[in-house]
Amino acid sequence: MIQINCWSQNNLFETKTKPMDINIEMKSEFEEIINYFKSKNEMHAVTEANVRSFIDYLLEQTAYTKKRLSDIIVDLNYETIKRDEQYKVWPDIEFWRGVDDYGSRAMLNYDGGVADVDNQEIIVRDQYDFSTFQPDSVRLKEAKERQAIKIDIAKYPISHLGYYEYRFNAAALFYAWIAYIWQEIEGHKCGVKVKTVQNSTIATFSLNDFLDRDFSEYVEATYGEKPKRLKSPFPRKLTLIELFQRASQSSHPFNPFSNYWRYFEKDGQFKEIGTYEFKTGIREGNFSERQDGDLTDIIIHKDSKHALLYIRDFTNQMINDGWQEKLRPLDMPLMFDENAFQFSYATGIFWTEDQTAKLTTENVIKLENLLGIKLPKPYFHYLRIFNGRQHNTSEMCFPINDLYTIHMNKFYTLEELTLFNNKQSVTKTDNLLIGESIDSFKIGINVNPATKSYGKVFIIKDKKLLECDYSFELFAKYAQHSPKQPEIYAAEQNDIAFLRKRLAEGWDFNTSYQYQDALSQAAEHNSYEVLEVLLKAGARLKFKSYREHMKGSYDDKTMDILDKYHIGE
């Protein structure tokens, strides 16, 4: 392998190489991860582009980081580190990275007392270079390239886009990448505790057992006499996918009512472990039995933390027994329990034994008997688990159809359900009131199994009952904090037909959603036709200095269109 060493303008040692086998191996597995999430319909085109850009950033410096890590363990290792004699504590090696960046440098941590390491270059280069100011023409070109990427709205409805925005764990790619390089240089031979740390947080990832701090056996500080030299806990190198799965393990805060799985293969056999509501269970057999194998060895744990630690121990043992972790096949059963349904937000349980607001199954059945109804299964368990969302109000925007969401103010508790509903009204209307929006609209669901609308969400607006397209199951699954509004999306995509329709319906073009309005977004996306429609309707930019400050976003044609309506007013 040919190497050319040079110094950059920032005096950082760079290593330029021909393509490396390690990068070829990692790129193949990165591609497998991307295609897996695309197959699950959990990665739309914009996220895919961002992930690919991030992977390119990592792979471009593999050779550099590999050399730097090799240098570090020569300087910092079991033989060279010294104890702090005042507190009798031995240091851990840490690679500190930024909160919004992955550039990393070497530090020594004496149980909270962090010390810089002299004469050490950075370990991972910064993702973003803020020292160089790009010309407006370059920024505009890059912005247009980003905007040219289109999301398939048939797969990812507008009302779901906020749900998918942060669905993918990009940090796990970084951990998998640096851990893979760490294995390549046999970093375990340095013999001490080593981890990455996100600056100013407790977010750490151990390079000893490749686990988050909530699960790693290598996070506690070491006091007293010199400890034994640490060795690798595994008999072989792990694949990048295995490292990604370990880095992705759900931790604090954890939603124990989501279905969480880890899947392994060996010699034509499969074995997996899953958890739901503090229980763990195992499914195993031949490949041909994957779709219908029964869960066995079901254990009810004290709380979600104990369930997840049990899964950690299980996965470690599987590796030591010769099994290889894989991305879980999509044809496997999703639900751990027949009563489970998927939602992504935390329940308020965190690591505690139970949630004080949680209801028993018997509590909910008593409500059904009192009102003479049969609740749709998703709402039955939503009520049982949350009893009004008293302990988590962070994701309260819910989709009612493919375009729109509604912002909930509250869901009714068990007591409130009996207060706002009675047997006579529910029997007469087939509808159960379950909560209120921030606009004071009443929200409910159809509870008559004999109708086609069973389980559908409805809204009472201006004393009229409006049935929504979505069932409560979809309504609950795609809850989010900051939904994408269809008017904003239409402005970005230059959809003049939709915005004309909304204007005709009385929509106020000055409406702001999460600090965004349609006119400013149309301008930033250089959506010429939409700009004209909105400006003719009376919309105007708040700040008139766009020609001076927006050269990196607005092209010449957008500037000219804006001038027609702003100059002289």
Burial 346-363 (b: 16+ CB within 10 A, else e): bbbbbeeeebebbbeeee
Q: Using pLDDT thresholds of 50, 70 and 90, give the confidence band for residue 262.
A: very high
Burial 228-258 (b: 16+ CB within 10 A, else e): eebeeeeeeebbbbbbbbbbbbbbeebbbbb
Sequence-distant (≥ 6) Cβ neighbours of residue 226 within 8 angstroms: 83, 90
Structure-model confidence comparison of residues 256 and 210, the more confident one: 210
Q: Using pLDDT thresholds of 50, 70 and 90, give the confidence band for residue 76.
A: very high
Residue 31 scores a pLDDT above 90: yes
Q: Using pLDDT thresholds of 50, 70 and 90, give the confidence band for residue 447.
A: very high
CA distances from 404 to 152, 463, 511, 529 (A): 17, 20, 15, 23
Residue 353: the pLDDT is 55
447 vs 379: CA distance, rounded Å: 10
Residue 2 scores a pLDDT above 80: no
Structure-model confidence comparison of residues 119 and 423, the more confident one: 423
> What average pLDDT does the chain have?
90
Residue 512 scores a pLDDT above 80: yes
Query: Roughly what angle, to the nearest 10 degrees, separates helices 556-566 and 528-537?
Result: 10
The mean per-residue pLDDT over the stretch 424-436 comes to: 95
Sign for the CA dihedral angle at 545, 551, 555, 557 comes to: positive
Instruction: State percent of the chain over pLDDT 70.
Output: 94
Sequence-distant (≥ 6) Cβ neighbours of residue 560 within 8 angstroms: none
Structure-model confidence comparison of residues 540 and 117, the more confident one: 540
The mean per-residue pLDDT over the stretch 464-471 comes to: 96
Residue 13 scores a pLDDT above 60: no
Residue pointed to by tokens 């124990």:
256
Bridge partner list, 460: 442, 465
Residue 259: the pLDDT is 87
Nearest to 533 by CA among 548, 549, 518, 512: 518
Do residues 207 and 182 touch, judged by C-beta distance below 8 A? yes
204 vs 213: CA distance, rounded Å: 6
Residue 12 scores a pLDDT above 70: no
Residue 20: the pLDDT is 53
Residue 284 scores a pLDDT above 50: yes
Residue 349: the pLDDT is 61
The mean per-residue pLDDT over the stretch 9-38 comes to: 74
User: 399: cis peptide before it, omega within 30°?
Assistant: no
* H-helix or E-strand spanning residue 196: strand 194-198
The mean per-residue pLDDT over the stretch 510-529 comes to: 94
Residue 469 scores a pLDDT above 80: yes
Residue pointed to by tokens 């695309």:
38
Residue 451: the pLDDT is 95
Structure-model confidence comparison of residues 341 and 386, the more confident one: 386
- Give the alpha-carbon dihedral of 14, 15, 20, 23, to 10 degrees: -20
Residue 200 scores a pLDDT above 80: no
Residue 124: the pLDDT is 95
The mean per-residue pLDDT over the stretch 463-475 comes to: 95
Residue type at position 30: F
Residue 10 scores a pLDDT above 50: no
User: What CATH number does the domain located at 486-566 have?
Assistant: 1.25.40
Q: Of 4-18, 254-268, 312-326, 482-496, which range is least confident?
A: 4-18
Q: Using pLDDT thresholds of 50, 70 and 90, give the confidence band for residue 351.
A: low
Q: Where are the domains of the chain?
A: 3-240, 250-354, 361-477, 486-566
51 vs 30: CA distance, rounded Å: 10
CATH of 361-477, one of 3.10.129.10, 3.20.20.10, 3.40.50.720, 3.40.1580.10: 3.40.1580.10
Residue 456: CA count within 13 A, CB half-sphere: 15
Residue 3 scores a pLDDT above 80: no
Q: What is the pLDDT of residues 207-247, one digit of tens each?
A: 999 999 999 999 999 999 999 999 999 999 999 999 999 99
Q: Using pLDDT thresholds of 50, 70 and 90, give the confidence band for residue 100.
A: confident
Residue 332: CA count within 13 A, CB half-sphere: 29
For residue 422, the SS3 value is: coil
120 vs 482: CA distance, rounded Å: 42
Structure-model confidence comparison of residues 252 and 383, the more confident one: 383
